[in-house]
Amino acid sequence: MSDHPSDDALFQLGMDLDPRSSTAQTEETNTPCSETSGEEARDFFCEQDGVRFAGTHLLVDLIGAERLDDLQHVEDTLRRCVEASRATLLHIHLHHFTPNGGVSGVAVLAESHISIHSWPEYNYAALDLFMCGASEPHRAVDVLRFAFSPERVVVKEMLRGKEMFRWKSGSKRRSIRASASA
């Protein structure tokens, strides 16, 4: 185990940051989530309607969806979701199950993640989109709608971290305005 928790998380995903390793990935280090301003690191928490929070978490259900067993289509769709959300892709890892062809996986982002779990035998997929900073996860919903042609899309939104007392009581850290696009 590493002294750095993020290195351990990457190792658990089958990656590490050792350039000599066959699974080493180049990680983007000049992202909005790692910028600093003066002596104080920017936290990239959001503020919307006077509420501060860590990020927007969307739970998306695709009902009556198609192409949920097409591994390349799922990967391409996740990449388009990242682009539409104005997020920064670090890594995608997908697993194709047999015999039903379901796909489970994650797009690891500098801003957090997008995960998918599909049950093609039921024409159903559950997605999880969590992003911090200036990213716009709501923009990915239209990408999913176009890619999988579901009969129904259910989206539930959570503002993660808004219950934390230190943010409600006036943290000295700056926040950015959350996007209003949906």
Catalytic: 132?
Answer: yes
Q: At a CB cut-off of 8 Å and minimum separation 6, what does 173 contact?
A: 40, 42, 43, 45
Q: How far lies 66's CA from each of 84, 106, 118, in Å?
A: 21, 19, 10
Catalytic: 112?
Answer: yes
Q: Are 148 and 125 in contact (CB under 8 A)?
A: yes
The alpha carbon of residue 25 and the mean position of all alpha carbons in its chain are separated, in whole angstroms, by 18
**Residue tagged active-site, from 33, 118, 132, 138:** 132
Q: Strand pairing partners for 114? A: 107, 129
**Residue tagged active-site, from 85, 112, 118, 179:** 112
Q: Strand pairing partners for 52? A: 47
Catalytic: 2?
Answer: no
Catalytic residues: 112, 117, 132
